[in-house]
Amino acid sequence: MIYNIVYIVNYMRIPQPDLPEKPYMDRDNHFWKVQHLIRLIFILTSAQLLGIPKMNPMEQPVTLLETGTTAVILRLEGGHWFQHKMRGIGIREQKTIRLVAKHPFNGPVVVEVDGREMTIGRRMAEHIITAVPE
């Protein structure tokens, strides 16, 4: 359930809420928790009404793979320019991709495709949907 919420929030490009600066709305206050719960319910119902596809549990972005794991690219989720750039550097559907390293603090990830290692940004890697073969 939590993973689907994160996927939907990223899919709809909904900004994450900032921590409230007013003292009466701190994290320990129940008002903030209720407000956050209402926001999550709104996101889920909006996604169902808009028909946003649910992610198959076998599918996952490159960023969720373990280091050293090999997977097959299923699709590139993004606009025309993103797909053009990925295909230009050799990242295409049905290719085998291996996660070499994840840099800390939401830094870039190093992937290997066709024997070539390349570094791509974490946000770009989140839009490369893969499946680990069994």
Q: State the pLDDT at residue 1.
A: 46
Q: How many CA atoms lie within 13 A of 64 on its CB side?
A: 15
| Distance, CA of 92 to CA of 115 (rounded, Å) | 14
pLDDT at 32: 59
Contact between 62 and 125 (Cβ < 8 Å): yes
- The pLDDT of residue 34 is 66
Residues of the chain where predicted confidence (pLDDT) is lower than 70: 1-37, 40, 43-44, 46-57
CA distances from 102 to 105, 117, 128 (A): 9, 13, 15
Two tokens, residue 20: 């409230």
Please check whether residues 86 and 24 belong to one and the same domain.
no
Residues 77 and 25 in one domain: no
- Say whether both 63 and 38 belong to one domain: no
Determine the pLDDT at residue 2.
Answer: 47
Q: What is the pTM of this model?
A: 0.59
Q: Do 63 and 124 belong to one domain?
A: yes
Are residue 79 and residue 35 in the same domain, yes or no? no
| φ, ψ of residue 128 in degrees (nearest 5) | -100, 105
Domain count within the chain: 2
- Tell whether 34 and 71 lie within a shared domain: no
Residue 120: give the domain boundaries: 59-131
| Helical axes 2-12 vs 30-50, angle rounded to 10° | 70
